[in-house]
Structure formats: structure tokens, C-alpha cells
Amino acid sequence: MKIAVIPARGGSKRIPRKNIKEFCGRPMISWAIKAAENSGLFDHIIVSTDDEEIAQIARDSGAETPFKRPVELADDLTPTVPVVAHAVESCIALGWEVNFACCIYPCAPSLQASDLLAAYELAVAQNADFVYPVAEYAHPIQRAMRRLPDGAMEFYAPQFELTRTQDLEKSYHDAGQFYWGKSTAWLAKKKMHTAGLGMPIPNWRVVDIDTDDDWMRAELLFKALL
């Protein structure tokens, strides 16, 4: 059995209630649910939340809420792995035979169903504990600089100051959209990044939504993809 787990707590602070804030005409979380549905991969699409309003919107959008997330797993400091592990444990307690669980973040509206499928196929082919999308940094991180108090600029790695950007090794970051994982890997609480495989996706399809500017950029990208 394959399940999707969408973690959506109620206490977001930088953008209050962002998981259910209207995004291009629908609650944000409904787009994640729709992407999961469109993939055709999942036996159950579950929202893990501590918030009844989010739970109701999730159900109205086609997801299930068979359990409530404990308060101790719903604060600002709780990482993803224990939340998904709790969801897997709860589903197994219901009698479900969970083989894979895909954590899908609720605020990733540019998520493509085809990426979910490609990542799952990679996980099976490579027998990987985890697979998740990564995006290439737009500029080589070896040429990163810091700005000093007087405005002067300083390279973090001065040895690369005169190196051509095309001669530098590519580097990637977590796209922050989803994580396929074996149920055993989630339950063992392995570190999904270092225990997993990265699947590159185009960096122009990735927006980390933490500010109002991020939200605007994400809406513009979403409309362009329609």
C-alpha cells in the first residue's frame, strides 16, 4: 500500500494560516491534494493536522483525516520525520499494510504529479529508502559572498574568485516539495536527505513560500504553468 501524508499544522507564523489561505482560487492545501490524486499512485491521501478547520478543508478537498496529530508534534521546532513516522504508525494501527509513504508539503503548488511518479519509480528501481526532488542552485555556491558592515564584499571561498562559473561543480538544494520513503525508513526515523536519493527538477519550478513576496512569486509561476 502507498499513502500520501500531507503535514499541515495550524500554527504557521510567517504567513498565518498559510496552509489553507486562498491560493489562485482554492485553499493552498487543496493543490497538494489534487497533485496526489492526479498521480494515481496512492491508496490513501492523508492530512496530518492538529487543527480542525484544516482537517475539514482537507476532507472537503478529497483527503482523509483518520487521526489527529498530537500537540507535541505540532510546534515550530518539530521536524518532518517524526510527523510522518507518527502518521505511518497510526495507519498501521488501523490495519493498513503501508509499504511506502510519500510526505507532500501542503505549500508546494508547483508540484507536478509526473514528478511524484518519476520519484516513486526511482525509489523502486534503486531500492532506495527515500527519494526527493532537488534543484540546482542558480549560481555556483563556490562564488558566494558575504557583505561586511561597511558594504565591502568578501568571498566565502576566495580561491574561486577568478574561476569561471562553468568550471565549478554543480550544487543542489532540497526542492521542499515531497519525500518518498519506505515505511520502514520513516519508522526507523532515518535522515531523509542523507539516507535518500535526489531527483533533479528544474529550479524555475521551485518556490519556498515563507514571505508575502514568495507567495506572489508562487502565484505568478502557478498561473504560468496552467
Contact 174, 134 (CB under 8 A): yes
- Please, what is the average pLDDT of the chain? 96
Is beta strand 172-174 parallel, antiparallel or unpaired with respect to 100-104?
unpaired
Give residue 94's identity as a one-letter amino acid code. Answer: L
| pLDDT for the residue 20 | 96
Instruction: Decide: pTM greater than 0.85.
Output: yes
- Sequence-separated (6 or more) residues with CB below 8 Å from residue 163: 142, 143
What's the CA gap between 21 and 49, in Å, rounded? 15
Below-50 pLDDT ranges, the chain: none
Residue 80 is predicted with a pLDDT of 96
Q: Say if CB 140 and CB 165 are below 8 A apart.
A: yes
Domains and CATH numbers, the chain: 2-133+174-225 (3.90.550.10)
Q: Over the Cα atoms of the chain, what is R_g?
A: 19
Q: What is the pLDDT of residue 215?
A: 94
Q: Model confidence over 86-142: pLDDT tens digits?
A: 999 999 999 999 999 999 999 999 999 999 999 999 999 999 999 999 999 999 999
Residue 29: closest CA among 119, 106, 137, 111: 106
